[in-house]
Structure 1
Amino acid sequence: MNKIYNFSAGPSMLPKDVMIKAKKEFLNWKNLGSSVIEISHRSIEFIKMTEIIEKNFRKLLYIPRNYEILFLHGGARGQFSAVPMNLLKNCNEEVDYINTGYWSISAANEAMKYSKTNIIDVKRVKNKKEYILKMSNWNINNFSKYVHYCPNETIEGIAIFEEPKFYNKIIVGDFSSTILSRKINIKNYDLIYAGSQKNIGPAGITILIIKKKLLFNKNKYTPSILDYSINYKNKSMFNTPSTFSWYMSGLVFEWILKNGGIKKMEKNNFIKSKLLYNVIDNSNLYINNIHIKNRSNVNITFKLKYNSLNEKFLEESKKAGFLYLKGHSFFGGMRASVYNAMPFIGVKKLAKFMINFENIFG
């Protein structure tokens, strides 16, 4: 069988070394004679593991001590509701949601149930290229309680690399596809949440990084399972956690630390994405309409000049060992996600395949 390369946007591929270690430990974790998925989350061994995982996560992102880390349920969509319910006192408070694509507008639509939501469109088009306004040009409301944005839209493949510096504002970020892929200054944010299924581990865990002072600013209607203060007091174990996802996330953190940390991951992702963008930019078949300054380094989206070739491209790419290149139904086209675990060789082979496909069919 030819080598398979999984370009899924999530759940995405995991590092090979991590998968091998998990396989080795699966039936007998820590010499307990049991798997990590069947022991109590209240056991000494499991609790010790979670403490090490948090320590490594703090180390990777240089998270200050005035921030807490929670491992939660419900995915990023759960946080679309949890954020306003935990940060607002009532539905009459105003909030700003920056609209850059599918996921940011999805979060805004959910927030409308719990707040007066100002949707601020910051995406523009110039010379047929989409770009995002500088943050200094965002029309932030003076009375808004917080500002929410998504720095990387996985569906459209558009990203914001500038970091926020809005004074007297609570800054909230959906970092599901950004976390661990590049350096960020945690101090520029008050709350960050991220679904696990891209650069963290298997689906099932959502990580929250939050300033301690925000933990207890909730309204009385917040469901307990979404209540940050309750989850904090119970050390993310108010309800039985997704133990396997938590364990696997820890293995991924160890792998990143052993392989150069976030700085190395960022460099690798830039090089990998550049390989594919070079093919696209030198092509008469492939089209990417995102301005170079806002192109995602982890989700490379492109369309074919002739829609009639879409199915042929997917058919031939699958034969060649490249999986899940079909774009999201909302956006169409193709999408190659090159998260941390994607090796250089997989990207190089895809680039070569794209060139050969254009020579034959384009």
Structure 2
Amino acid sequence: MRVFNFSAGPATMPLEVLERAQSELLDRGGSGMSVMEMSHRSPEFVAIAADAERRLRELLSVPDDYAVLFLQGGATGQFAAVPLNLTAPGARTAYLNTGSWSKKAIGEARRFTDVQVLADEKDSNYASVPAQGSFEVPQDAGYLHYTLNETIGGVEFPYVPDAGEVPLVTDASSTILSRPLDVGRFGVVYAGAQKNLGPSGIVVVLVRRDLLGRARPDVPSVLDWTAMAEADSMLNTPPTLAWYLVGLVLEWVQEQGGVEAMARRNQAKADLLYGAIDASDFYRNPVEPAARSWMNVPFLVPDPALEKPFVAQAAEAGLSGLAGHRSVGGMRASIYNAMPLEGVQALVDFMTEFERKNG
């Protein structure tokens, strides 16, 4: 029996995608072999890769002057790739700090650049984002980086920061495909796949072509966007199975009506869950309402001693992955594209019953 999987990543995937992959596991498209066995140079896999790129471009309306890369190393690998591809050693870069993943990106960038943190949400306990217009971006910065959605803290930017002429870079791992994204406002968008795009093991990078060619001479080739763009993301053997599954997820999103339809579904799920939390005297969401994530919803109970029983009893009820991140505790429900409204309703029903018994 499949459960409702609220894990933050690797996360739930559409059942239709899993069943399609299952049906093609031994013989993909009459090739007589699994995608896992195909040469990445074969016409069969090159077609799979090209189809995935085409679908991603269509869904996000990616302009023609952007390269679309399918790489390894996750979003964490891009924490280093961003400064290595966009700046010279010691150059100034600008970051916004809104939580755990911002901090990790800043820490990695400090190994290679002079990082200026323009805004830090420490005083809010990372429960908000900087007010729009509250920071000024140095125009000599190599780029401005921000984390669109903090998966651990459940904080999401409700606006796109204005960086002027400075390239804007975002980690969109938890939000990509969840709603429309104006890619043309960014210099670089990168996203780990294991939330809304597919399984773990692959990261998508959208980079404006005029930013290619700036990589440092000593950047490792697997992190060099220019080299990867010239090799169609196949400078080395790519994660072929993950790439294929990303393509199936993209096809599924198109069949559901695209990112606009996803946005309507995701808004309904978020409204249902936040509505239940706000209507309760037992549960509490720590995030400022204007900065609440559509994708990752943390919540607390009055007594931390109830957290383990909540998670255990929820699991028994078929609701998996609800423990909060070990760094913050509490509970967290990740309600990505593949989580149906029925799953969120089942969680709300369980929460109501748990409150009745323990309130």
TM-score, with length taken from structure 2: 0.97
Matching residue of 2:35: 36
Matching residue of 2:73: 74
Separation in 2, partners of 1:154, 1:131: 13
Aligned residue pairs, count? 359
Per the TM alignment, residue 72 of structure 1 is displaced from its structure 2 partner at its CA by 0.5
Alignment RMSD: 1.4
After superposition, residues 340-359 of structure 1 pair within 5 angstroms as 340-359=337-356
Separation in 1, partners of 2:47, 2:313: 47
Separation in 2, partners of 1:353, 1:197: 26
Per the TM alignment, residue 137 of structure 1 is displaced from its structure 2 partner at its CA by 1.0
Matching residue of 2:262: 265
Separation in 1, partners of 2:130, 2:221: 38
> 2:44 aligned with 1:45, yes or no?
yes
After superposition, residues 138-217 of structure 1 pair within 5 angstroms as 138-217=135-214
After superposition, residues 271-350 of structure 1 pair within 5 angstroms as 271-350=268-347
Matching residue of 2:21: 22
Separation in 2, partners of 1:179, 1:139: 26
Per the TM alignment, residue 125 of structure 1 is displaced from its structure 2 partner at its CA by 6.1
SS at match of 2:67: strand
Contact 2:13/2:338 (<8 A) preserved: yes
Matching residue of 1:108: 106
**Unaligned 5+ residue runs, structure 2?**
none
SS at match of 2:206: strand
Q: Which amino acid aligns with 1:225?
A: V
SS at match of 1:288: coil
SS at match of 2:236: coil
Contact 2:95/2:144 (<8 A) preserved: yes
Separation in 2, partners of 1:131, 1:343: 27
Contact 1:285/1:306 (<8 A) preserved: no
Per the TM alignment, residue 284 of structure 1 is displaced from its structure 2 partner at its CA by 1.7
> 2:250 aligned with 1:253, yes or no?
yes
Q: Which amino acid aligns with 1:132?
A: V
Q: Note closer, same or farther for the CA distance 1:28–1:129 as it changes in structure 2 (3 Å cut).
A: closer
Separation in 2, partners of 1:184, 1:204: 23
1:240 alignment partner, one of 237, 240, 258: 237
SS at match of 2:19: helix
Contact 1:180/1:265 (<8 A) preserved: yes
Contact 1:165/1:188 (<8 A) preserved: no
Segments of 4+ moved more than 4 angstroms:
none
Separation in 2, partners of 1:65, 1:113: 33
Shifted more, 16-25 versus 287-296: the winner is 287-296
Separation in 2, partners of 1:67, 1:32: 32
Shifted more, 151-160 versus 46-55: the winner is 46-55
How much identity, in percent, do the aligned residues show?
Answer: 39
Contact 1:322/1:350 (<8 A) preserved: yes
Contact 1:71/1:206 (<8 A) preserved: yes
Matching residue of 2:93: 95
Separation in 1, partners of 2:33, 2:74: 28
Contact 1:195/1:205 (<8 A) preserved: yes
**Unaligned 5+ residue runs, structure 1?**
none
Separation in 1, partners of 2:176, 2:335: 13
Contact 2:157/2:291 (<8 A) preserved: yes
Contact 2:10/2:195 (<8 A) preserved: yes
Separation in 1, partners of 2:110, 2:126: 30
Contact 2:285/2:298 (<8 A) preserved: yes
Q: Which amino acid aligns with 2:112?
A: Y
Contact 1:80/1:111 (<8 A) preserved: yes
TM-score, with length taken from structure 1: 0.96
